[in-house]
């Protein structure tokens, strides 16, 4: 049994923390939202009063926060307030599973290294369903020794663990994947909306495409049309899941990276513009598959 601090207990972090607790570890849980903490405490974890409190006695720290600015402010501090690294004991392993800029992971890792702390980036794929089932895919950036240290914990939350390269490489792999996911969700939505506008049953059309050359993850598990997949956010009023604004953040990270590396990503750029328009129309907090609303006939 290991004492694990888990900070960021939202749609993803909550179920991930519960899986670590169920695996026999002692989870010290912290989130700015008391409701989020309560859900994890109901499964046996201990509530922490602050991030500083959560890391007391912890050998491992896991973070699952929205974006770069949250991770940087937490670990390195903000507006003169000290960062969490100052409260973490040397020798501790920190696993950051948030999707953030690779440069931020590298900046935090450098400061952690100076304090004798192992920091790896380990963003995930698999959605909230994967987080609950413990079948996430982890994309790890760090040394082989750091990954080996993290492996027993990652295995309790995921089914596939990849070593993408040095610190930050996990984030780069993640934004490539999410750029593709964002494009595929728009394409899938477009195709279903076109079929429905022509009188096709969305379930029948989705099944035809799933078993044909257009098959993809959205058609397998995360159909954007309500009622096709019972457990997908589309069938729950687009609640929970992966927020449009989080997808927009990831497509922004991909475009920032493409600009820096002079890569050509025209569809990634177009997808970012589509999700931005969808967010401005008031759908930023809904699951990203709600982008189909932009493409459907009223």
CB 169 within 8 A of CB 141: yes
Cα separation of 53 and 37, whole Å?
Answer: 14
Contact segment (CB under 6 A) with ligand NAD among 5-13, 78-86, 107-115, 214-222 equals 5-13
For ligand NAD, what does the binding mask look like between residues 122 and 141, x meaning CB under 6 A? --xx-xx-------------
Question: Active-site positions?
Answer: 174
Out of 4, 58, 62, 65, name the contact with ligand NAD by CB under 6 A: 65
Helix (H/G/I), strand (E/B), else coil: 134 = coil
Residue 70 touching ligand NAD (CB under 6 A) = yes
CB of 74 to ligand NAD, least distance (A): 5
Within 10 angstroms of residue 131's Cβ, the number of other Cβ atoms is: 25
Residue 289 touching ligand NAD (CB under 6 A) = no
Residue 158 touching ligand NAD (CB under 6 A) = no
Out of 4, 6, 11, 117, name the contact with ligand NAD by CB under 6 A: 11
Residue 32 touching ligand NAD (CB under 6 A) = yes
Residue matched to tokens 């899938």: 188
CB of 259 to ligand NAD, least distance (A): 20
- How far CA 197 is from CA of 123, 132, 190, 201, in Å, comes to 38, 35, 10, 10
Contacts of 172 (CB under 8 A, 6+ apart): 102, 141, 164, 165, 257
CB 77 within 8 A of CB 107: no
Out of 99, 172, 188, 189, name the contact with ligand NAD by CB under 6 A: 99
CB 256 within 8 A of CB 179: no
- Report the site for ligand NAD in 193-232 (rule: CB under 6 A): none
State both tokens at 204.
């029948």
Residue 8 touching ligand NAD (CB under 6 A) = yes
21: phi then psi, degrees, rounded to nearest 5:
-65, -45
Of the pair 98, 223, the CB lying nearest ligand NAD is at 98
Residue 51 touching ligand NAD (CB under 6 A) = yes
CB of 230 to ligand NAD, least distance (A): 17
CB of 66 to ligand NAD, least distance (A): 5
DSSP state for residue 224 in the 8-state scheme: S
CB of 67 to ligand NAD, least distance (A): 6
Dihedral (CA of 213, 219, 225, 229) sign: positive
Out of 19, 92, 98, 223, name the contact with ligand NAD by CB under 6 A: 98
Contacts of 80 (CB under 8 A, 6+ apart): none
Question: Given its phi and psi angles, is residue 104 left (phi above 0), alpha (psi -120 to 50 degrees) or beta?
Answer: alpha
Cα separation of 11 and 30, whole Å?
Answer: 14
By CB under 6 A, the count of residues binding ligand NAD is 28
Residue 175 touching ligand NAD (CB under 6 A) = no
Of the pair 97, 205, the CB lying nearest ligand NAD is at 97
Of the pair 50, 148, the CB lying nearest ligand NAD is at 50
Residue 246 touching ligand NAD (CB under 6 A) = yes
Distance of CA 215 to the CA centre of its chain: 23
**Number of residues that this document lists for the chain:** 298
Q: Give the footprint of ligand NAD on this chain (CB under 6 A).
A: 7-13, 30-33, 36, 51, 64-66, 70, 74, 98-99, 124-125, 127-128, 241-242, 246, 250
């Amino acid at each position: 049994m290991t004492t694990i601090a888990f900070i960021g207990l939202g749609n993803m972090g909550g179920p991930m923390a519960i899986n670590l607790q169920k695996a026999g570890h002692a989870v010290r849980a912290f989130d700015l939202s008391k409701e989020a903490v309560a859900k994890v405490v109901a499964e046996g974890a201990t509530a922490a009063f602050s991030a500083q409190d959560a890391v007391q006695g912890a050998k491992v720290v896991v973070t699952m926060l929205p974006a770069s600015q949250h991770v940087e402010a937490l670990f390195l501090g903000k507006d003169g307030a000290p960062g969490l690294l100052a409260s973490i004991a040397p020798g501790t392993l920190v696993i950051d599973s948030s999707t953030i800029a690779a440069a931020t992971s590298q900046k935090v890792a450098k400061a952690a290294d100076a304090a004798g702390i192992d920091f790896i980036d380990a963003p995930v794929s698999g959605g909230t369903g994967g987080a609950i089932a413990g079948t996430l895919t982890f994309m790890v950036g760090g040394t082989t020794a750091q990954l080996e240290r993290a492996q027993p914990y990652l295995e309790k939350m995921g089914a596939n663990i990849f070593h993408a390269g040095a610190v930050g490489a996990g984030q780069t792999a993640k934004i490539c994947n999410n750029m593709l996911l964002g494009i595929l969700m728009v394409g899938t939505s477009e195709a279903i909306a076109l079929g429905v506008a022509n009188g096709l049953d969305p379930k029948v059309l989705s099944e035809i495409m799933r078993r044909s050359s257009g098959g993809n993850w959205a058609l397998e598990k995360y159909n954007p049309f309500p009622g096709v997949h019972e457990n997908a956010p589309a069938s729950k009023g687009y609640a929970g899941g992966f927020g449009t604004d989080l997808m927009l953040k990831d497509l922004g990270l991909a475009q920032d990276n493409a600009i820096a590396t002079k890569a050509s990503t025209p569809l990634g750029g177009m997808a970012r513009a589509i999700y931005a328009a969808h967010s401005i129309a008031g759908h930023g907090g809904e699951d990203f598959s709600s982008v189909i609303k932009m493409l459907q006939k009223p």
